[in-house]
Amino acid sequence: MKLVILAGGFGTRLAERTDLVPKPMVEIGGRPMLWHIMKMFACQGFNEFIVALGYKGDYIKEFFLNYRSLQSDLTIDLGSGEVELHPNSVPDDWTVTLVDTGADVMTGGRIRRLRPYVGDETFMMTYGDGIADIDLKKLVEFHKQKAVKATLTAVHPKAHYGELDLENDLVAHFMEKPNFRTSWINGGFMVLEPSVIDLIAGDSTVFEREPLETLSQNRELAAYKHPGFWQCMDTLRDVRYLNSLWDSDSAPWRIW
């Protein structure tokens, strides 16, 4: 099953980093967030990727064009220009299709432009700025069982600040950065039938609005509840938090 990754947005809330590179190329543990997402999928048996490029997409192209040489030991003959890759490094067995979907195209428009590459089979879709410890095979099985056109992953957002439980002006309980266990949000990690693309009118369509709202009204949108780890990389605070998890060897998404 193919995975579509939307990686073309401007990432304006993370301008400290995205002025230099596209948001999915912001590094966590020395590797781009995009790599972490793809590694998470590949380790669960999904290794065919279609990446929708936009803002600073050339950086992503250059990363994958040079990926094998950067991951391997090599010998370079400076006279002839020949490069020998040594077999001591096992490259990732991925197929990566990189498609320029335009700098100003909305999320729905990007998916629509990928239709020739998606084909006529069920596919997965996610964003290039979110990571989780989700069981992807269970997500796909859930989608099949529900027999709907689309399934999204519902997650609990994590607070940026500690929560105080007050009783008579005294702090009865303090919880550092709790999860909001009573609310669910769309965490991405979707499974989609190709017919969903027919609901996208054009480049200006925001996928999370008209298409998903129509599916919801028609009872064709299921929600796979994931109570485990999920984190979006929206701000510099998020980048630091994800790096702290990685550096302390406690990154929940690291299953390799």
In a domain, 252, yes or no: no
- pLDDT score at 72: 84
pLDDT at 169 (0 to 100): 54
Question: What is the CB-side half-sphere exposure of residue 25 using CA atoms within 13 A?
Answer: 23
Do 72 and 89 contact (CB within 8 A), yes or no? yes
Residue 101: predicted pLDDT: 97
* End-to-end Cα separation, the chain, in angstroms: 20
Per-residue confidence (pLDDT) for residue 178, from 0 to 100: 55
pTM: 0.89
CATH (domain of 150): 3.90.550.10
pLDDT of residue 171: 42
Maximum Cα–Cα distance for the chain, whole Å? 79
- Evaluate whether residue 256 is within a structural domain: no
Residue 253: inside a domain, yes or no?
A: no
Range of the domain at 175: 3-247
Q: Tens place of pLDDT for every residue, the chain, 256 residues?
A: 999 999 999 888 888 788 889 999 999 999 999 999 999 999 999 999 999 999 999 999 999 999 988 888 889 999 999 999 887 666 688 999 999 999 999 999 999 999 999 999 999 999 999 999 999 999 999 999 999 999 999 998 876 555 545 566 544 555 555 555 567 889 999 999 999 999 999 999 999 999 999 999 999 999 999 999 999 999 999 999 999 999 999 999 998 8
Pairing of strands 190-192, 150-155: antiparallel
Q: Is residue 255 part of a domain?
A: no
